Structure 1
Amino acid sequence: MTIDEVTEKKIYLPRLLSADEQRDMIDRYVASGRMFRLWDNGVKCIAVVTRLNETECALKNIATCPADQGKGYGRAMLAYLAETFLKACKTVYVGTGDVPGILRFYHKSGFRASHWVKDFFTDNDEKRLSKRAYSYVTWSICAETQMTWKHAKLREE
């Protein structure tokens, strides 16, 4: 299994659309962000991270092939990104819907919910295909908690 940075980003747009249904948003953060892919006998996971300012980064999208979900690829990508970006940023943020499986995924990966925006998707996204998520949850992982996060990850494995 290897993770590397992608320069030919457009070929992965269909994968990103599986995790974020707003093409215009994807186009914006793909243009300004850094894209990574996890390869294990084929591309299993794609992620995009943007720099918000000198001390903060944001994971804008992480998408694992549906057939490969639950096999640790998303968690491996998060571990790589946290290790990589917490060297340059004090905090890495992720915004998600309030879908229980997604909430568990980020919590088990060491992120902590920092705030919720009730009815975010129903109020702001009329075209959203998936109506599963209603609230928007912002998660964060900080450089100060990285050791705790690594310890928790090791206990799970």
Structure 2
Amino acid sequence: MPRCASDAPLRAATDNLSGPVPLLPDLRLRRIRVRRERFLPLLLLADESEAMIARYLDRCQLYGLFYQKRQPVSLAAITDESAAFAPGTEGARLAPFLAGKAVCECRNLVTAPAFRGHGFARQLLMRLCGIYDRSHDAMLVGTGDTPAMQHFYRKCGFRPAFVRRGFFRDNYPQPIVEDGCLLEDMICFCRLIRPQAARS
């Protein structure tokens, strides 16, 4: 998952968070259905464990912003986690307000190095919230206990929801240090994405 819940530290924190999101000419959103493994080098920039990526790559929906149809600018992997929040599950215990809800999770969010600093990860995440609000009540994303990434998700409308204790310590073979901080727990942020009228 990004440490950004993507399970890995999302370097998208370098995105410019002030002012309008810039647009490249001919920047298009695509769902990637085949040969996803060719994007592994880019996904590894956000989640450095190939084994962790393998846990969700086959079952996720992978989206990308592409420049001139071919060059990936930013990628996001989204999984359905509704079963993990069914009543009586650990997820429902950690986040009772999500019990029985349709929940998706952004497991990886990454921007190619040449395109960082221009808000493309934010643009992709916001567009995906607009897609998933038709089928899900909430979107989750997990990140390490680092101010930059938490600021990024707050600016995207996410709020702290619960903590997965020892996630990085227990799931990664090597210690993970981000912004000078040794990551142990994953802070899970949540955004309610379904329109209020549809939820009521």
Q: Which has the larger radius of gyration?
A: 2
Q: Which runs of 5+ in 2 are unaligned?
A: 1-26, 83-100
SS at match of 1:131: strand
Query: What is the number of residues matched between the two proteins?
Result: 145
Q: Which residue of structure 1 aligns with residue 36 of structure 2?
A: 9
TM-score, normalising length from structure 2?
A: 0.66
Q: 2:186 aligns with which of 127, 136, 141?
A: 136
Q: Which residue of structure 1 aligns with residue 126 of structure 2?
A: 79
SS at match of 1:89: coil
Q: 2:157 aligns with which of 110, 123, 135?
A: 110
Distance 2:169 2:61 in 1: 29
Q: Which residue of structure 1 aligns with residue 79 of structure 2?
A: 50
**Residues 22/108 of structure 1: CA separation in 2 closer, same or farther (3 Å cut):** same
Is 1:19 matched with 2:46? yes
Q: What is the letter of the counterpart of residue 24 of structure 1?
A: A
Cα deviation, residue 32, structure 1: 0.4
Q: Which runs of 5+ in 1 are unaligned?
A: 147-157
Partner deviation per Cα, 1:95-151 (whole Å, 9 max, x = no partner): 1112222111111001111023455323542324x32233311011113678xxxxx
Cα deviation, residue 36, structure 1: 0.5
Distance 2:162 2:195 in 1: 18
Distance 2:102 2:120 in 1: 27
Moved >3 Å (runs of 4+): 117-120
Relative to its length, the structure with more helix (as a share) is 1
Asked which structure has the greater RCO (Cα within 8 Å, sep 6+), the reply is: 2
